[in-house]
Structure 1
């Protein structure tokens, strides 16, 4: 990544956010929120964040790692998907958000642990705030996905459909707003030569209580 970013003449820092602790399922959105918060402690002047799956590598230097006026989805064409966008609302893989937009959106949801739907939850937050997704041309925004053959199959989040169905009801409270009460701790922040490594201890998540959407926020009239 460094030669790619240096050829673009960018002033940047790479942060690698790693999870450990009691929670065995990967909590991607949670880690993005922690990374955003810790990075701003390093340098409050950061005005653009690229949220990047670790297994994606850009193929074209013209794919500029900058923020646009609207949320910017960079990984348009991935080899795994025959270099085609799977669906128009996709905002996962590699995405760019300026700092003010990320705060407006309350970051990602903290509740998605296990594979699936945290990026679709973010897309719904964008829709809620009338923020359209912009993209570079697909012949530029091409990515290679690294092989996962040596890894165990990813565990799907059994609550992902329910969480996505209720996403907009939680958008104001689930994210940066409740991060400090989300039972995690930063074990270490290590400034290495090529990147900053942040190790995050996440305690076991409580089971998601499924509540019918019509009952959310309903007043007791008795």
Structure 2
């Protein structure tokens, strides 16, 4: 009996330890960090309308109530359809009709092989963004070759297309993330912003302070200053390091505004090419980025919900 009791006790203790390991955030996680307070969000936004956009509205849009909207969008929107009369133009562009927006934003989404997830993402994002009274356009950049998936290079390609179309603000967005709070305005702040700092997968805790991926906003001129991202397949903390080198700080909104849901996706299918990992350096920043971007544009198609750029890398 005594042996059986000890055995059960040891098993119970082991289960508790495993649960603590699984449920406890990373030891480097940050529950608190510097952020822009709610009442200061509008002062920190960068007002600029793209030179490709004109509005006939007589009054400016008012964002006071939007940044104070504490509602949460239901994830079930992903499985639904857009409402009739959504007003989205060909190519995935939208702007409010009853007021003149103060912000023009291009959302850049790298993509490959996940058509159903893309459909759900687009439906959700258009439903979300229409609430924000901004002028926006969604660019989906698809890698159609069989080389390893190169997310950073696809971001660069989308950024070049958006800047060519006159967008002053870029949002670089992974497709498996969706924002939950309409108050998380998809406009650029004066400093580059880590938008997805509170993801449910990480129990809404920021894993580490120099994390700068998922969903980020950055002014087009800032993206040019740092020469975009490395076109190399994988460079650790590359964009954050480029900004740091140029003494450009990043910012975040408060955690409850920056809530995101991560959509479960099957693993990326394997391609026969080894990852090439490199660390950031000044030479890499100067010689690998927008100024060395090479690719073959297979086609660009204006779909009802997005601009589809297909490329071979």
Using structure 1 for the length normalisation, give the TM-score: 0.80
Query: For 1:159-198, what per-residue CA distance to the aligned partner results, in whole angstroms no more than 9, with x for missing partners?
Result: 32xx12x43321011000111xx3x201111111111011
Counterpart residue number, 2:258: 141
| 2:223 matches 1:102 | yes
Counterpart residue number, 2:205: 84
Counterpart residue number, 2:310: 199
Counterpart residue number, 1:151: 267
Counterpart residue number, 2:149: 26
Q: Any stretches of 5+ residues in structure 1 without a counterpart?
A: 203-222
The equivalences for 1:1-222 within 5 A come to 1-23=125-147, 25-41=148-164, 43=165, 45-113=166-234, 117=236, 120-148=237-265, 150-152=266-268, 158-160=275-277, 163-164=278-279, 166-179=280-293, 182=294, 184-202=295-313
Query: For 1:7-57, what per-residue CA distance to the aligned partner results, in whole angstroms no more than 9, with x for missing partners?
Result: 00010000011102241x11111101111112233x2x2100000001101
1:153 deviates by 6.6
Partners of 2:274 and 2:239 lie apart in 1 by: 16
Partners of 1:176 and 1:151 lie apart in 2 by: 29
Which of these two proteins has the greater Rg computed from alpha carbons?
2
Q: Any stretches of 5+ residues in structure 2 without a counterpart?
A: 1-124
Query: For 1:138-157, what per-residue CA distance to the aligned partner results, in whole angstroms no more than 9, with x for missing partners?
Result: 11101001112x33477896
Using structure 2 for the length normalisation, give the TM-score: 0.57
Partners of 1:126 and 1:77 lie apart in 2 by: 21
Highest RCO, 1 vs 2 (Cα 8 Å, sep ≥ 6)? 1
Would you say how many aligned residue pairs link Structure 1 and Structure 2?
188
Superposition misfits of 4+ residues, deviation over 3 angstroms: 150-158
Partners of 1:142 and 1:154 lie apart in 2 by: 31
Structure-2 change in CA distance of 1:53 and 1:133 (3 Å): same
Query: For 1:70-124, what per-residue CA distance to the aligned partner results, in whole angstroms no more than 9, with x for missing partners?
Result: 11110001111111101000110000010100000100100025xx73xx11110
